[in-house]
Amino acid sequence: MQAPKMIIRKGLVPVPGQPKPRPAIQIFAIVDDALKAKLEATYLGENLFKRSAYANGLPQGVPQPTGSLMTHVNAIVKNDACPEITVKTMLNGQVFQGATLWEVKAFEYLACRAFDALVDLLGTVVEMERQTHYTPAAAQALVDAEAFYADTIAEAASAVIAGDVSVAEVVVASAA
């Protein structure tokens, strides 16, 4: 299996009737063929970026853009013409034409967040029809505490067998 990656192409696009070309960006996700087939069969309509999720700012945990870029990210998200990014558009390629270079950079930032979501979704697709396990860190702490207690009791038993009752008493007292 190959690691998923996103190809990003930027350039200038001539606009008929306008003297200057406009900046544009194309995004395209490359995923393993078997995973792509599963995505195309069932999950093409899944949203990876939806502007309504970002309407009140960036969710906690999302990498923050630089201050100069943040203004443009907010502007593109609040614009009714803000494109949504789905599994289908990410796999087939999506082009965004901006009025400014900052708009292109803002779309690139959003496309990277959408690609992060695609990779997260791929993790679930890989797990389909498989059994997985979840063990929180607190569960491991229980195992560690029980192992520590068992080691302490074994150490005390060894001290008693060796005839050093005072060491056994200290070990048992420290475990209590």
Residue 95 pLDDT > 80 = yes
pLDDT of res. 170: 59
User: What domain range includes position 155?
Assistant: 137-175
Hunting for tokens 């995505």 — which residue is that? Answer: 39
- Would residue 52 count as lying in a domain? yes
How many helices and strands in the chain, by DSSP H and E? 6, 5
The stretch 103-107 carries a mean pLDDT of 94
CA 170, chain centre distance (Å): 49
Residue 127 pLDDT > 70 = yes
Which residues have a Cβ under 8 Å from the Cβ of 168 and sit 6 or more positions away? 156, 157, 159, 160
The stretch 44-70 carries a mean pLDDT of 82
The rounded distance, in Å, linking the Cα atoms of 153 and 168 is 9
Both 87 and 27 in one domain: the answer is yes
Both 80 and 53 in one domain: the answer is yes
Domain count, the chain: 2
Q: What is the pTM of this model?
A: 0.72
C-beta neighbour count of 11 within 10 angstroms: 11
Q: Which residue has the higher pLDDT, 77 or 4?
A: 4
For residue 125, the SS3 value is helix
Both 117 and 30 in one domain: the answer is yes
Both 17 and 100 in one domain: the answer is yes
- Would residue 165 count as lying in a domain? yes
Which residues have a Cβ under 8 Å from the Cβ of 110 and sit 6 or more positions away? 49, 54, 73, 76, 77, 85
Hunting for tokens 């093409």 — which residue is that? Answer: 44
The stretch 123-127 carries a mean pLDDT of 88
Both 82 and 159 in one domain: the answer is no
What's the token pair of residue 83? 């494109």
- Would residue 132 count as lying in a domain? no
